[in-house]
């Protein structure tokens, strides 16, 4: 059985575009997660997600791994991109789409 940290690192490494969020893309549970999902949806690139409300151990451990205290958190090709403000700013300045497109994400799925 793996530790929570090992599980998180595996999720990040196996999913080219991964959003740790509150809720699900079709039903976000906070405004910041909603904004992040809307920005990602505008890129028309598929992404994976993890509902941290349904995974309390991940919610508790991830900030110490990512060094980012809040949610949502977007990872692309294993690298933390940031939260909803960073994601929406990147959408606005045109850098989000090529970043996630080049990650060659699979289909939208819950991890």
Structure tokens at 49: 């997600």
% of residues, the chain, pLDDT over 90? 88
User: Which fold is adopted by the domain 4-103?
Assistant: Glutaredoxin (3.40.30)
Domain boundaries, the chain: 4-103
Instruction: Identify whether the C-beta of residue 26 lies closer than 8 Å to the C-beta of residue 73.
Output: no
Question: Given this model, what pLDDT does residue 109 score?
Answer: 52
pTM for the whole structure = 0.91
Q: What confidence tens digit (pLDDT) does each residue in 46-88 have?
A: 999 999 999 999 999 999 999 999 999 999 999 999 999 999 9
Omega cis (within 30) before 72? yes
């Amino acid at each position: 059985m793996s530790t929570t940290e090992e599980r998180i690192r595996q999720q990040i490494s196996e999913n080219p575009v991964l959003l740790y969020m509150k809720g699900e893309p079709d039903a976000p549970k906070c405004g910041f997660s909603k904004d992040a999902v809307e920005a990602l949806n505008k890129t028309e690139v598929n992404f994976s997600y993890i509902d941290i409300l349904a995974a309390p151990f991940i919610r508790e451990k991830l900030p110490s791994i990512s060094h980012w205290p809040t949610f949502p958190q977007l990872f692309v090709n294993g690298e933390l991109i940031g939260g909803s403000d960073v994601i929406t700013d990147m959408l606005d300045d045109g850098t989000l789409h090529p970043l996630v497109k080049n990650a060659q994400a699979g289909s939208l799925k819950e991890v």
